[in-house]
Amino acid sequence: DIQMTQSPSSLSASVGDRVTITCRASQGVRRYLAWYQQKPGKVPSLLIYAASTLQSGVPSRFSGSGSGTDFTLTISSLQPEDVATYFCQNYNGAPLTFGGGTKVEL
Amino acid sequence: EVQLVESGGGLVQPGGSLRLSCAASGFTFSSYTMSWVRQAPGKGLEWVSDINSSGSKTYYADSVKGRFTISRDNSWNTLYLQMNSLRAEDTALYYCAKAGDMSWYDHWGQGTLVTVSS
């Protein structure tokens, strides 16, 4: 099975900061990588799929990059409403796997 | 508007069974892969199972293979998860999720809580 490793597991940043979260796959997953945001007590929501395609309605301050084994989620200017846990997901065939999550705090 | 409404969760003893349902609306249910994803209390997301649009292909996490069965009724726009031989480690919030063009999940239900405890 492909393991997805996110780093850091948590971070604290200020409003307006640029935030970068990384996700590393134990084997290449091409660009079959999605990112989700889960706010406290809420349901996960899709931010990005195909490594860099922004889901409709997601603010443009979110961006994704990478292919193969190394991926990045960037928040260009952190906003208070971005406080959440972020998960990457590999969908390069079953079993699908999620990263352990990155908790972003202010 | 896409809506996914799960039901069927509850408290069950180890070794017991439960059947989860997910009622879907707001999209052409029969055209999309559907999935179950779970989240143990305070933990991350764990993919459980996928079923393709017609129901002809199913996939399972190793942790549930042989114990859980995913199915769907495209006439009733409903997804199911039959869970047998439940263990304490199956305790989680179970989400129903709609896949996009591939198995990323663009819509999620609110989840139904399954607690396995004696």
B101: pLDDT strictly greater than 90: no
Nearest CB to B100; choose among A45, A49, A96 = A49
Residues 6+ apart with CB under 8 A from A56: none
A47 Rama class: left (phi>0) / alpha (psi -120 to 50) / beta: alpha
A interface mutation test: which of B62, B104, B108, B113 has the most A CBs within 10 A? B104
A94: pLDDT strictly greater than 90: no
Average pLDDT, integer, range A71-88? 97
pLDDT tens profile A12-37: 999 999 999 999 999 999 999 999 99
Nearest CB to A46; choose among B59, B105, B110 = B105
Name the more confident of B102 and B18. B18
pLDDT at B115: 98
Cα–Cα distance for residue pair A7/A92, rounded to 1 Å: 21
pLDDT tens profile B54-83: 999 999 999 999 999 999 999 999 999 999
The backbone torsions φ and ψ at residue B89, rounded to the nearest 5 degrees and listed phi first, read -75, -5
A93: pLDDT strictly greater than 90: no
User: Are B106 and A46 inside 8 Å of each other by CB?
Assistant: yes
pLDDT at B46: 97
The backbone torsions φ and ψ at residue A105, rounded to the nearest 5 degrees and listed phi first, read -125, 160
pLDDT tens profile B5-48: 999 999 999 999 999 999 999 999 999 999 999 999 999 999 99
Q: CA B93 from chain center: how many Å?
A: 10
